[in-house]
Amino acid sequence: MIINENYTKLPGSYLFSDIAKKVNEFKSSHPEANIIRLGIGDVTKPLPPAVIEAMHKAVDEMGDASTFRGYGPEQGYDFLVNAIVENDYKIRGLDITADEVFVSDGSKSDTGNIGDILGLDNVVAITDPVYPVYVDTNAMAGRAGDLLANGKWSKLVYIPCTDENNFIPDLPKEKVDIIYLCYPNNPTGTTLTKAQLKVWVDYAAAHKALILFDSAYEAFITESDVPHSIYEIEGAKEVAIEFRSFSKTAGFTGTRCAYTVVPKALTGYTKSGEKVSLNKLWNRRHTTKFNGVPYIIQRAAEACYSEEGKKQVKATIDYYLNNAKIIREALCAQGLNVYGGVNSPYIWVKTPKGMTSWNFFDYLLNELNIVGTPGVGFGPSGEGYLRLTAFGTLENTKEAVERLKKIS
């Protein structure tokens, strides 16, 4: 038996596992430390009451033979898919149909698994820094080449997003076939305007490229010129797949529910140039490798769209956005260069005094007992930055901000 050797090229562990290990080590040697975790983007607010109520009801249905459900449709139950179409697309005037929506257990899984239906010879572009799942899953598939000493994979095209270009990615100089875009961005918290996103949609159309648009943080958008969906851009249905999640929106990081939109107008090509529907391929993959999200969880997700659910979800988002503002303002007051945190739960800060990302991470952990995420963990262009999340409690956020005043 021969293993998939691409796995041997990967760094030892996934970024967030690496950080968790470091934090646990610190905790064992400093059991008295009151550590504030603003590292991984995991939420702290409980599920909204409307969601809990729907889950309880669904649990009862599962205990009654007349309402019990076994295998459901792999793509998701109609009640949830229709709620998604109505509330996330129709309401914005976007014509997405039920058979273009695939309910799943997460955008991490979907952005990782989408590679199953894409050829291995495609040239993949990522913005840098980037959510590590895009890179690692392409490395696993063999599309990334080899990891070089400079922290880059030999076959990936890196598109730097730093304060030098105001975090606006430039179009690649070489032709690329697959482009991962995440907006509002993880990790930098920055956004693209409609006009800036259109540049990418036009590029994809002109080069027969595919955009994988991760919109997991869409609910945090506060500014009017920031698109909530890539399908707000003309022509996007022909070139883009969109990933959305209930994780950060409604507290489903542990509950697991997300969805992916694969428009029927979207096609890829065989080597001989024949057009193939990506919707059909993804449907084939999804129905073969996935058994659907549990009924109880889909009812929970549906409840996010009820009148009460919407209000409660909005209150949660506002709570995190207030945390983001508190962190952002405190870091600015320290004279640091701060980005994100306006349309996003992530705050991206330039390290003080030219410290490396990991040195600043260690300083925050050891001296202030605050966990962040070192920017370089998201890619070479993240060096010299650190990410903080607004997903903590208000109390911890305020305490963290007090401690951050000690940065001199």
Residue from the set 23, 40, 52, 123 that interacts with ligand MLT by CB under 6 A: 40
Specify the stretch interacting with ligand MLT by CB under 6 A; choose among 40-48, 61-69, 276-284, 305-313.
40-48
Under rule CB under 6 A, residue 129 binds ligand MLT: no
Closer CB to ligand MLT, 176 or 321, in the complex: 321
Closer CB to ligand MLT, 102 or 217, in the complex: 217
In angstroms, what CA-CA distances link 156 with 125, 129, 143, 319, 390? 6, 13, 8, 38, 31
Is 388 within 8 Å of 346 (Cβ atoms)? yes
Alpha helices in 117-226, H assignment, sequence order: 132-141, 194-207
Under rule CB under 6 A, residue 108 binds ligand MLT: yes
374 beta partners = 386
Q: Concatenate the DSSP letters of all residues of 311-328 into one string.
A: HHHHHHHHHHHHHHHHHH
What residues from 181 to 220 belong to the interface with ligand MLT (CB under 6 A)? 186
Residue closest to ligand MLT, measured at CB: 41
Under rule CB under 6 A, residue 123 binds ligand MLT: no
Under rule CB under 6 A, residue 299 binds ligand MLT: no
Under rule CB under 6 A, residue 374 binds ligand MLT: no
- What are φ and ψ of residue 349, in 5° steps? -125, 140
Count, residues near ligand MLT per rule CB under 6 A: 6
Closer CB to ligand MLT, 100 or 242, in the complex: 242
Closer CB to ligand MLT, 42 or 399, in the complex: 42
Closer CB to ligand MLT, 268 or 375, in the complex: 375
Q: How many helices (H) and strands (E) does the chain have?
A: 12, 15
Is 209 within 8 Å of 239 (Cβ atoms)? yes
Under rule CB under 6 A, residue 44 binds ligand MLT: no
Beta strands in 144-208, from DSSP E residues, in sequence order: 157-160, 178-182
Binding site for ligand MLT (CB under 6 A): 40-42, 108, 131, 186
